[in-house]
Structure 1
Amino acid sequence: MFWGKTKKRDTRLAINIGTGSVTGLLYHPLLMGESDGDQKNVAEHPEVIKVLTLPKSFSSPPDLSNISRSIKNGIKELRGLVDDNLHISGITVILSSPWFFSQTRTINMERPDAFEVNRELVKNILDEEKDLFVHGARGRSVVSPVDDPEIIEISIMRTLLNGYEVEKFFGKKTISAVFSVYLSLSLKDMILRTQDQLHDAFHTDNIIFHSFPYIFFRAAKHIFDTSRGFTIVDVGGEITDVTIIRDGVIEETFSFGKGINFIIRRLSSAFNISPEEALSILNLAHRGEFADSAKDMKMKVINSAIDEWSNYFSEIVKQATSHKFLPSKLIFIGEGARFSFFNQIFKNEDFKEKIYKAQNFQPQTISPKVLRNYIRGEGKLFAGDADTTGLFLSTLHYDVGIHD
């Protein structure tokens, strides 16, 4: 809705790049009370115009050497879904695994006398943390000696001065300061190559990159109570990403190489059927509509694959959070999130015992329709599965002005 003298709204494109897969979304961003003389142009919510999805690929797990070609082809195919006469004012690129590496760092400062938190002090802190972050990424072989890293995000998520949380901290005096900083990087070659491909396809240089955990976190702050903590489980095609948010910050991100395609291929191999037929079996099992004589055999294969997925999940969670409980609220998104098998795992007593004792998990799947109170658009655009949730959230992320 607009009040006063109206102004034509920009059209932006959000693109999510995963393991060889590309999806997109066209939207009008929020107008934040821009002045036009003594009039104001205000849109209450971002508005989705079109969701751009491509056919799913169930080929063998992609070879990293071929992923770039798949992304290039995906961008070309998305271009074909956009009206040639539509002007794209800017693009937000959301990187999912394996295209980013991230870390949260906590910086503690304490001095006997009060000091001012000014821009120079904060800049020096962030520059030092950036260098340590890149060095650590090389040490963990995330970035090889011959690759150049590209920092895509460095953001202070929370600041404590004298033990109290402060949003506007510049110019404040304190004797102690604690900064929680989120950093992420990708490979410069990948960033530059993607920028060139997007520029050629959509004719804009206004292209920004973000990691998925950061997009979700910054948008979720306006929807959920992030202080109580929750865990985001993004079940992708090839990879499952896990992000733990606690005390209002991203505490940890990690992933493992088992997504929904792993279960589809397991069914396909067991019964010598196509991946598309295997996906159909998964859908029937999810809806409880099995009626053939092979029901028990099929469920045995599905349950075996789900058990394997849960074992990977529990092991990596225990390694990453050995000294803490996993937040009980779990938010499922991604290609596999619509299947009830995954959130049912967290209601299983044996599984809960495997991670932490006496933990009552509250699993919830977040699909686009959950965001209807925050984003406008035709109802049919929100009918998709949770694999496009990140794209919808990115419209909120950009609109609240957090594209640093």
Structure 2
Amino acid sequence: MFLFGKKEKVFVVFDIGSGSVGGLLVRDSHKKGLEVLASARTDIRFKEDIDSHLFHRSLEEAFKKTTQSLRSKAHEAPDFVFCVLNSLLSVSQTRIIKVNKEKPFDINKKLLDDLILEETEIFKKTYVEEKGSSLPSSEIELFEHNVMKFVLNGYDTVKPLGKRARQLDLYVYMSMGKAKVKEKIEDVLGESFAGSPVIFRTFPFVVFNTLKLSTDTREGFVFVDIAGEVTDISLVRREVLEEIISFPMGRNFVLRKIGKALNTLIKETSSVLSRLERGHSEEGATKKISKAMSDAKDEWCDIFKKAVGEVSEVSPLPQNLFVVGSDKIVEEFSICMEGDFFSQFTILGKPFNIKRISPESLDPSLKLSPSLKEEKDIFLILETLFAGKFL
């Protein structure tokens, strides 16, 4: 990577979640690997009731604050800025493009580009219809598209260009959302990192590719991301990110329950939960918090079970289930993922083999630098590993 041209590169990673915005300023050098130069994370303000306008306004404020914090510690313009988006800002699907002809045809770049462009327009129309939006397709923008797999005449092919086939199956992962969202992100970045190219990806795609660096993913897996306002369930089968299902219950759902139980301001519930995790909570408050978390878990479990059943309708699910994080909320919700109930949905007819993704659980083969190990933010670690390897 560093044999020609610059011996190092500096880049910024932003984790634009539905509960907070995190960022890292990173130097990638041949000698030290991925070295964290600065980090920041800002919570997104939220209220008892979910308000779309408040969310977007608070998200912009959090993004600006995180961006300014990193900019103050950057001594030069980064080589690129990498933004990872949450599912509230984008819709993602793997689209399967099929071409069948009686006579063999050439597989070339123009053919693939034309097929992807045509499928992009179809996806835009689907997005508008599913969202019930009155926005014209011109105001919907493609955030990313990545070819995940080529199949020629029924066989997986790594290098299809220049070959001939009668049948082509093209698996393309696409994400899109409102053009205004992308424009606002780019405007904020323009104030702090003008001139640096901006690259957009979505978290499921990043996790899938990062896990492939150290995990055998050929048998597939289910990935669960419990974010601020939503939970995403991603299904990987046959080396393809096949499906993503989201439902509007995340970490903030628990915090709202706790705030209501304690009659506490919503903005104070995170610190209340932190005190409980450290064992500093009063006995009376501890009981109320435990009851609120139990109630939240039960409601979340009901929706999660229905979502898993929906994902498994086509065929049984892989045995491995990955869940990101290791805090109190993830621990509580992970209990729901255990047990025999899910055996009816898995390929072996057994409970999920649950693996938590945390800084400590990452494979040693990834060779995290000391500064990246110390970061402890698993979302930013995964995204930084992706950027260092693939961008």
Counterpart for residue 366 of structure 2: 374
Deviation of 1:126 (Å): 0.9
Q: Describe how 1:331-370 pairs up with structure 2 within 5 A.
A: 331-333=322-324, 339-349=330-340, 351-352=341-342, 358-370=349-361
Alpha-carbon distance between aligned partners in 2 of 1:153 and 1:146, rounded to the nearest angstrom: 19
Alpha-carbon distance between aligned partners in 2 of 1:216 and 1:364, rounded to the nearest angstrom: 14
Deviation of 1:104 (Å): 1.2
Deviation of 1:244 (Å): 0.8
- Residue correspondences, number: 386
Q: What residue ranges of structure 1 are gaps of 5+ in the alignment?
A: 31-41
Of 29, 51, 64, the residue aligned with 1:76 is 64
Counterpart for residue 47 of structure 1: 35
Of 129, 136, 144, the residue aligned with 1:139 is 129
| Pair 1:306–1:384, CA change in 2 (3 A) | farther
Is residue 388 of structure 2 the alignment partner of residue 396 of structure 1?
no
Counterpart for residue 110 of structure 1: 100
Deviation of 1:197 (Å): 0.8
Fraction of identical pairs, as percent = 27
Is residue 224 of structure 2 the alignment partner of residue 233 of structure 1?
yes
Alpha-carbon distance between aligned partners in 2 of 1:397 and 1:295, rounded to the nearest angstrom: 39
| Pair 1:136–1:143, CA change in 2 (3 A) | same
Deviation of 1:90 (Å): 1.5
Secondary structure of residue in 2 paired with 1:145: coil
Counterpart for residue 256 of structure 1: 247
For the 8 Å contact 1:89–1:206, the answer to whether it is kept is: yes
Higher helix share: 2
Alpha-carbon distance between aligned partners in 2 of 1:256 and 1:313, rounded to the nearest angstrom: 8
Secondary structure of residue in 2 paired with 1:227: coil
Deviation of 1:3 (Å): 9.1
Of 276, 299, 312, the residue aligned with 1:308 is 299
What's the C-alpha RMSD, in Å, of the aligned pairs?
3.1
Is residue 90 of structure 2 the alignment partner of residue 91 of structure 1?
no
Deviation of 1:83 (Å): 1.2
Counterpart for residue 262 of structure 2: 271
Secondary structure of residue in 1 paired with 2:236: strand
- Could you list the runs of 4 or more consecutive aligned residues of structure 1 that deviate by over 6 angstroms after TM superposition? 2-6, 284-291
- Most deviating of 268-277 and 114-123: 268-277
TM-score by length of 2: 0.86
Alpha-carbon distance between aligned partners in 2 of 1:43 and 1:172, rounded to the nearest angstrom: 40
For the 8 Å contact 1:369–1:383, the answer to whether it is kept is: no
Matched to 1:65, the amino acid is: H
Alpha-carbon distance between aligned partners in 2 of 1:185 and 1:345, rounded to the nearest angstrom: 31
Of 43, 52, 56, the residue aligned with 1:64 is 52
Deviation of 1:321 (Å): 3.4
For the 8 Å contact 1:234–1:332, the answer to whether it is kept is: yes
Deviation of 1:58 (Å): 5.5
Deviation of 1:269 (Å): 0.9
Of 199, 204, 221, the residue aligned with 2:212 is 221
Secondary structure of residue in 1 paired with 2:135: coil
Deviations 1:168-190 (A, max 9, x none): 11001223222111111121111
For the 8 Å contact 1:21–1:70, the answer to whether it is kept is: no
| Pair 1:69–1:333, CA change in 2 (3 A) | same
Deviation of 1:68 (Å): 3.1
Deviation of 1:56 (Å): 6.6
- Most deviating of 183-192 and 360-369: 360-369
| Pair 1:366–1:61, CA change in 2 (3 A) | farther
| Pair 1:277–1:137, CA change in 2 (3 A) | closer
| Pair 1:389–1:297, CA change in 2 (3 A) | closer
Q: What residue ranges of structure 2 are gaps of 5+ in the alignment?
A: none
